[in-house]
Structures are given as structure tokens and as C-alpha cells.
Amino acid sequence: MACVQSTAWFRCLLRPHCSRLNFFFPEDIQGRRQADGPGLRSRHDRWRALALLMLVGIASGTSGCSPRGVLIGEVGQIIYDGQAAYEQEPDLYLLSQSFPAHFKLMEALSINDPRNVQLLLLIARLYGGYAFAVLETEQEALRYDQPPAIGLGLSTEKIAQRMAHCFQTGAEYALNALAVKHPDVRERLKTAQGAASFFDSLGRADVPALFWYGFNLAGYIQHNLHSVHAMGQANRVESAMRRVIALDPGYYHGSAHLVMMVYYASRAPMMGGNPERAQWHYEQHRMAMPQPVRLRELYRARFMMVRGQQREAFTRTMSELSAEVRRQAPLALLDSVAAHRAAVYLRVADQFFD
């Protein structure tokens, strides 16, 4: 009863203030920038930093079935409920500034509640999202000697190092989430047969952890194709995403199909590539998500049209995809990633075609 009363009390305390301060959500930063001008040293930013420190301090200073556990759970739920703020924000520079603070806060809270699966999944998702949407998009521009797509001020080497760290860390947190229910997960992943057997034993409730594990691992492998260690884990991506598709093909906008589409389309056959399988996943994603999805069409143009040397179709598709993204669109973040990359690919099309 005491815990129930504490939960109710903290909900009353937290919800109103978080809705006013909104220090978790990136659109609030946008509003402050417009009001206060550029930079991160406004009184609002100092207040937000103080608020974050207060949260971490409270979470670290109490114990047991007490305000600490309740507060951690409530903050995690607020962040989880606010994921739409990320999904609907097309400003990648804005997100590049807000992502790191958010996942470091989540890590601080997770230390005090290491078996909180929701927190572990949020951290895995934030690390993976930052690496994919921000770092990978910036790297795509720099690798073709184009102006920075976002303007992070980092070298190609630094981006590659940070991206590897983020994808690996995201995968590790997803594994930690799986380990709460399946303590032997790491032991079972030591062999390809053991990994496939383990993934096949998972149920629908395991889909979020399984997807974010596969997503982060796929991102790490994609940028380390010449690493024996990385390629030795490629079979896990296939097994994990195959199971996600079997259990819940529409999870996170049907993105397991997109992961596998890139996995098969971007590699030469000797590296595991398979154009027919890539096309199958493209068609399956269209069935699962019949509405226009820029990222899906970006991958089709970048890999499949280039492979088929369909320059006219490539140019037309990339021109359409690079159009400005409407703020608050349901997939504004992913659409913005596609738009930034399409603009780069359009400028360097000569490198893709004979």
C-alpha cells in the first residue's frame, strides 16, 4: 500500500512539472532557442541542467520500496511516452544536441534500477537512434567529400569511432534487457546454432529487446565489414530480425524488413549480399507499411537502382526524397534522415553510374 501511495504522490509531483518544463523533449529546446537566440547557455538551459541533476540526485539518495524506485519508473515512463517528440522532429542538428544528454540521464537512472527493462530498452533505442540518425547521416556526407549534412564539427575518423561505440553500447543494453528474463542469453549466443535456437525460443514480449539488439548490431557490422570480429556476428542479425518479423512484422514501422533490405542489398554476394532477398524485404515492407516511407525508397534507389544502373529512376527518386520534411509528420525524423542522405546521393550520382 505504501508503494502505491508513493507512486500516486510522485505522479502528481512529476507529471505537471515535466509538462511545464519539458526538459526531456527536443521541441522545447527549439522553442527556447527561438526565444533566447543561439547557444546553450541561456537561463533555461541552466535550469534544465539543474533539474536533471536534481533528478539524478534524488534517484541516488533514496532506497528500497521508496521514492527512488517510484521516481525512476515514472521518469522512464515519461521519456517512453515522449518518444513521439523524437519521431516527429526533423531537425537533426537539434536532435544531435539533445540525444546524448537524454541517454546519459537514462544510464544514470538505470544504475539505480539495473533490472528495469523499460529503461534498458530506452537506452538501447537512444544509442541506436543517435548513431543511425545523426552520426551515420553526417558520415554519409563526409565519405563522399560533401559538406557536412548536420554540422557536428567532427572528423570522419571521430564519427566512425563514436558510431561504433554507440551501436555496440546500444546492442549491449538490449542484451541486458533480454538477460532480465533470459539470464543465459550471452552463453547461448556464443555459437551460431545456439543463437538461432535462442532467438527462435523468444515470444512476442521479447520483440522490442530483440529488435533493438539486432538493429544496433546490424549498424555496427555495416560499418565494420572488414572486421572478422564484426562479420562473425552477422548471423545473429539475420536470426534476430527473422524472429522479429515472424512475431511482429510491424514493430517500429516494420523496420526489421528495412534492416534486412539494407543487409542484403548493400553487400556483394561473397559478403552475404542477396539482391532477391533484398527485393523480397522491400515488397514485404510495402505490404506492412503501404503509406509512403522515404527511408524505404532511399534504400531501394541507393542500392537496388544503382546495382541495376537505373540512373533516370535514381535521379527522379532522390529528387523527390530530398524535399523538405513537414514538421510533426508521423515519421518526420526518419523522413529527415532520408532527405539529408538523398540530397548527398543526388549530388554525387556520377560516382554510382558508369
Domain that holds residue 137: 119-248
Q: Are 97 and 49 in contact (CB under 8 A)?
A: no
* Most distant CA pair in the chain, distance: 72
Least confident of 47-56, 61-70, 144-153, 280-289: 47-56
Do 153 and 47 lie in one domain? The reply is no
Cα 291 to its chain centre, rounded Å, is 21
Cell of 44: 533555461
CATH of residue 208: 1.25.40.920
Do 126 and 104 lie in one domain? The reply is no
User: What's the confidence (pLDDT) of residue 311?
Assistant: 97
344 found inside a domain: no
Q: Is the pLDDT of residue 240 over 90?
A: yes
Instruction: Please choose, from the candidates 340, 304, 299, the residue with its C-alpha nearest in 3D space to the C-alpha of residue 323.
Output: 340
Rounded Cα gap, residues 192 and 237, in angstroms: 11
Which domain-ending residue is among 80, 112, 144? 112
Do 22 and 60 lie in one domain? The reply is yes
Do 134 and 244 lie in one domain? The reply is yes
Do 125 and 69 lie in one domain? The reply is no
Residue with cell 563514436: 162
Handedness of CA 336, 342, 347, 348 (dihedral sign): positive
Do 9 and 126 lie in one domain? The reply is no
Rounded Cα gap, residues 124 and 130, in angstroms: 10
Which domain-ending residue is among 248, 269, 295? 248
Do 123 and 75 lie in one domain? The reply is no
Cell of 245: 518479423
98 found inside a domain: yes
Do 209 and 94 lie in one domain? The reply is no
Q: Is the pLDDT of residue 63 over 70?
A: no
Do 123 and 241 lie in one domain? The reply is yes
pLDDT band at 39 (very low <50, low <70, confident <90, very high): very low
Q: Is the pLDDT of residue 81 over 80?
A: no
The count of domains in the chain is 2
310 found inside a domain: no
Q: Is the pLDDT of residue 7 over 50?
A: no
Taking the complete model, does pTM exceed 0.95, yes or no? no
Cell of 87: 519521431
Ramachandran assignment for 267, one of left (phi > 0), alpha (psi -120 to 50 degrees), beta (any other): beta
Do 124 and 243 lie in one domain? The reply is yes
Instruction: Work out the mean pLDDT of the chain and round it to a whole number.
Output: 84
Which domain-ending residue is among 209, 229, 248? 248
Do 124 and 242 lie in one domain? The reply is yes
280 found inside a domain: no
User: What's the confidence (pLDDT) of residue 52?
Assistant: 53
Do 108 and 223 lie in one domain? The reply is no
227 found inside a domain: yes
